[in-house]
Amino acid sequence: GVAVRIVPSVLPVDFAHLGEAVARLDAAGADRLQWDAMDGQFVPNLTFGPDVIAAARPHAGCGFEAHLMCERPEELFERYVDAGCELIIVHPESLRQPHAALRQIRELGAGAGLALSPGTPVAFAEPVLDLLDLVLVMTVNPGFGGQPYLVSMEAKVARTRELIDGSGREIALEVDGGIGPDTIAGAAAAGADVFVAGTSLWRAASLAEGIEDLRARAEA
């Protein structure tokens, strides 16, 4: 399987000091940073686009992944890759042709991820497993940070783990939403190996301790 990764979300940071926050998260031991790009259409929130990510790129050494919660995301794939994202994660509901879109991400030289919202079946990942580097099982409904973790999604994480292991492919299983010290062990036991954390990290004594605590709990 894939090694445990802790991927802080940029969503909860103080956007007025974005570059500093990104540098702090990187220095605190983030394996990657997740940029929740929202367009106010696919989800009822609007955050940042590729130019903001490009501005932050020089401030961190770790990898960037873009979680696109946007309509017609394929129109901007190249911009997100050029901005410095090594992984592009998309929702099937936002795509007319998910197979073609995932192939397009790969052709741009980035890793491809499929995000499954709580109401989206795991089956959506089955026809495109050969095009995936990551499956993201959302443990909240997309759009906002700070929401409560949906423990009911653990059965879906387990099903996704079965699908990935059965494929024999090196596909990461990421969870995102309400991940913190009290929820990460359940998600890890269900089969996740990559953990997006936003709000919970800023509650820790320090970002580094927060990341280390999550990593220890996921690996326990």
Binding site per annotation, positions: 9, 36, 67, 143-146, 176, 178, 198-199
Q: In what order do the strands lie in the sheet with 134-138?
A: 5-8, 194-197, 172-176, 134-138, 111-116, 85-90, 63-69, 32-38
Contact 28, 60 (CB under 8 A): no
Show the binding pattern over residues 68-97: x = contacts ligand DX5 (CB under 6 A), - = does not. Answer: ------------------------------
CA neighbor of 112 nearest in space, from 124, 126, 122, 98: 98
Residues 6+ apart with CB under 8 A from 32: 5, 7, 62, 63, 64, 65, 86, 87
What's the closest the beta carbon of residue 143 comes to ligand DX5, in angstroms? 5
Annotation says 182 is catalytic = no
How far is residue 4's CA from residue 204's CA, in Å, rounded to a whole number?
A: 20
Of positions 52, 181, 199, 212, contacts ligand DX5 by CB under 6 A: 199
Which range in 78-86, 119-127, 172-180, 204-212 contacts ligand DX5 by CB under 6 A?
Answer: 172-180
Which residue type is seen at 160?
T
Task: Check residue 197 for interaction with ligand DX5 (CB under 6 A).
Answer: yes
| Pairing relationship of beta strands 85-90 and 63-69 according to DSSP bridges | parallel
Q: Does 154 bind ligand DX5 (CB under 6 A)?
A: no
Q: Does 111 bind ligand DX5 (CB under 6 A)?
A: no
- Count of residues that bind ligand DX5 according to CB under 6 A: 22
d(CA 188, CA 131): 24
Q: Is 176 a catalytic residue?
A: yes
Q: Does 178 bind ligand DX5 (CB under 6 A)?
A: yes
Q: Binding to ligand DX5 by residue 198, rule CB under 6 A?
A: yes
Is residue 157 part of the contact set for ligand DX5 (CB under 6 A)?
A: no
Interface with ligand DX5, residue 113, by CB under 6 A: no
Contacting residues toward ligand DX5, per CB under 6 A: 9, 11-12, 34, 36, 67, 140, 142-147, 176-179, 196-200
